[in-house]
Chains A and B, each alone.
Chain A
Amino acid sequence: MTTALELRQVSKVYGSGPSEVHALSEVDLAVERGELVAVMGPSGSGKSTLLTIAGGLEDASSGEVLVEGHDLATVSRSGRAMMRRRSIGYVFQDFNLLPGLTAVENVTLPLELDGARARAAQASGLKAMAELDVAGRADRYPDELSGGERQRVAIARAIVGERRLLLADEPTGALDSVNGEGVMRLLRAATHRGVAGVVVTHEAQLASWADRVVFLRDGRVVDQTAAAPGPESLLAAGDRQ
């Protein structure tokens, strides 16, 4: 596997002097292509800060952030903007779809901002939407879609084109548990096709869809799950009759 995201000793400090807040402290994290990692922790533990720094939306105060081997600190502002459009996909809690655009226009927006031709962008957008089973809703506006469909469109936008890194902040939003599970299935499927995924969540059931769960507390990584032995270990136990 190839490391798609690597955080080395990353710290983030907001403010200074007595009002100084250490949001992240010396965080090490590596996520391989094809791997889905969940980040769990209580409110204020630094989960969302970790995600914004990983995606180049914010700078770390110290440490290194490498996306596909490129140290973000050495990438120019425009280069970083290009990486955000081309290589990194985001899924937000409240979907963040633009209401004036159709579903497919929302999906193709990052490609078109990156200079792709409309026809090529449209083809990539429909392909991503087909993977998420929402191609039939391509010409609908966000307010004509159900909550589950909106989130599928948002995920399609995050994986469209040649994305390498998928970052999701509480991606199931206010969906019920079965629709929330559907979103996690899609994120898992997307990552297993070769994208690296990081999902921030406070819900254990959603986190359990990840290959690995990393626990944050007071801005530090305090623990992570071991590689799971697989479901057969439950079946072999034979103690649940």
Chain B
Amino acid sequence: MSVPHAILALLSDGPKYGLRLQNEFEARTGEVWPLNVGQVYTTLQRLERDGLVETDGENERSRKRYRVTDQGAQELADWLRTPPELVPPPRDELVIKVLVALQIPGIDVHEIFQVHRRHVIEVMQRYTRIKAEAAPGDVPLALVADAELFRLEAIVRWLDAADVRLRDMPPAPSPVPEGRPVEPTSTMEFSQ
């Protein structure tokens, strides 16, 4: 989540004080991502330093009101159209755990799948409960919860597919006799 860009977006409908930005940020992300007021002011200082926001001076209570600059508006427009990083991190921890499990004699890899499947679905139940208990018409909250639910569902689908692929595989790799070609399933390597 890009806090600087979220703040630029919140300023796009007019100048605001830091505290109001914090409240609006939390409201619009369905309060799933809490943001403390210190982070808001640190981010505003950085944005001001980079010329993306400016203040109209302090009021009588020494509070600054921030407005987005033309450069800030352009930065926000560019960011909205920049594709996020879709290439996964080089080492997906769950994939590595499964590949490691395949190497260990006596491990029931299906049981490993099930432990992770249950855990992911328990997390999904919590996000679904957020949606179920949300006020009708709270679209931002539904969008945030949906994004997490689709991401988590993809993990479950991967586990299901892996389960089927490995269904008939023997529980532990057998030693490879010398001189024989290497079997791909018994020598999965994951050096990156």
Residues of A within 8 A of B (CB): 40, 42, 181, 185, 188, 202-205, 207-210, 213, 215, 217, 222-226, 228-231, 233-235, 238, 240-241
Contact = CB atoms under 8 A, between A and B. Distances in A.
Contacts, number: 80
B31 A225 contact: no
A241 B125 contact: no
Given A207-B121, A209-B128, 8 more contacts: A208-B127, A213-B118, A213-B121, A215-B114, A217-B110, A222-B114, A228-B125, A240-B32
Contact of B114 (A223, A230, A238): A223
Contacts of A226: 122
Contacts of A230: 126, 129
B87 interface: no
Nearest to A188: B132
Interface residues of B, number: 35
Contacts of B120: 204
Contact of B121 (A181, A185, A204, A238): A204
Interface stretch (B7-15, B74-82, B98-106, B153-161): B153-161
B156 A204 contact: yes
A42 B132 contact: no
Contacts of A233: 126
A203 B117 CA distance: 12
Contacts of B1: 240-241
B132 A205 contact: no
Given A185-B132, A231-B129, A234-B32, A225 B39 contact: no
Contact of A223 (B35, B118, B125): B118
